[in-house]
Amino acid sequence: MSARANPIAAILPTAHVAAHQPAAAAELAKALGDGPFSHVVLFISPEADLAALSLGLAAEFGDCPVIGCTTAGEISSEGYVEGEIVAVGFPADLFVCTTLLVEDLDQIDAQALIGQMIRQRAAQERARPGWQHEFAFLMVDGLSLREDELTAALAPGLGPMPLFGGSAADGQGFEKSFVLHGGRFLRHAAVLLMVRTACPVKVFNLDHLVPTTRRMVVTQADPARRLVRQINAEPAAIEYARLLGKDPRQLTTFTFAAHPLVVRIGGRHHVRAIQRVAENGDLVFFSAIDEGLVLTLAEPSDMAAHLEQELAGLCASAKPVAILACDCVLRRMEAMEKQSYSAVSQVLRAHRVTGFATYGEQWNSMHVNQTMTGVAIYPPEPA
């Protein structure tokens, strides 16, 4: 199957191809066009042959930097897709991009990262002093358990540059996820893309969850491993199930997606999503958790209607030519469970959203779950 290009948005060209396509890199390069591109970003199904893809990218894109990550599903010009590779090109006449690789998330040197980011932002400003718009996009190994620490370390170096991002995934396998940089697929690593552009942009974060009055307290936890052992001084999975009126043996990923837990930070509720139940009954979370944390049970509203409302709101002053987004895998699973998958996909397609399904999202200095975070990109301002 040949790659299919998005014919609408020459400002941010996109293309997608089946992950098992032997000539995937060639098909994507052909569909994206000649560029030149400052950078190309790939969202890659774990079904792809990563070694073969790496060789193909080197042959097809030459000196153009290509970065990316593996996914738990992709979003293309057709909406939700599975088993594909989605490419996004940043044309050099509208975007100046630089990357920063964090190769070992166990060795985060915050001061060194801050210095590199400040120098990169200054260099971009010197290169394009007339361009006033910027954002940062982060892709990080979603099985590293280090997203919270990384986003906190990056925040001081970004200054006013807004950040969004997603945790690389492995479908629903939760075994190994990769980021791509310099032709290498890396684990326990992260890639930060810093972008300065002639196009106005708006970074956003949204969720469709409504907090209830049911609260619980984490009374025993292992924060380093994101484990909750007790809630309300009772075994975690048993107490969570009791509050839902369910049998603990019936807890599934779909249960967690339909009945998320949120914590109030800075006047807003943020999800602390449950990944799974451990064999001993502990709850394994997707993001930071600690003893004494007060969790509130939330209930989802209609996802498709809420998404349409939020994305339409991005069109208030002008219509975006493209939206680049990171969408939590739990949202996709909920859409499947509630038979709203096609409706949500249609909304994504109508608003020209491109991106991938994640094991968690980043928004400025926070690592969050069960949200969509992204950037809306608008037509360039007249010179």
pTM of the model: 0.92
**pLDDT of the residue at 112:** 95
Taking only the tens of pLDDT, the chain with its 383 residues reads 556 544 445 799 999 999 999 899 999 999 999 889 999 999 999 999 999 999 999 999 989 999 999 999 999 999 999 999 999 999 999 999 999 999 999 999 999 999 999 999 999 999 999 999 999 999 999 999 999 999 999 999 998 999 999 999 999 889 999 999 999 999 999 999 999 999 999 999 999 999 999 999 999 999 999 999 999 999 999 999 999 999 988 898 888 888 889 998 777 888 888 989 998 999 999 888 999 999 999 989 999 999 999 999 999 889 999 999 999 999 999 999 899 999 999 999 999 999 999 999 999 989 989 999 999 999 997 76
User: Hey, what are 174's tokens?
Assistant: 């939760």
Rounded to 5°, the CA angle 62-63-69 comes to 85
Give tens-digit pLDDT for 352-372: 999 999 999 999 989 989 999
Q: Which strands form 14-18's sheet, in the order they lie side by side?
A: 4-5, 14-18, 84-91, 37-44, 66-70, 179-181, 184-186
Place of tokens 């949202």: 331
Q: How many of the other CB atoms lie within 10 Å of CB of 297?
A: 18
pLDDT at position 7 is 40
- The answer to whether 149 touches 178, Cβ cutoff 8 Å, is no
Question: Over the stretch 328-349, which tens digit does the pLDDT of each residue have?
Answer: 999 999 999 899 999 999 999 9
Residue-level pLDDT at 381: 77
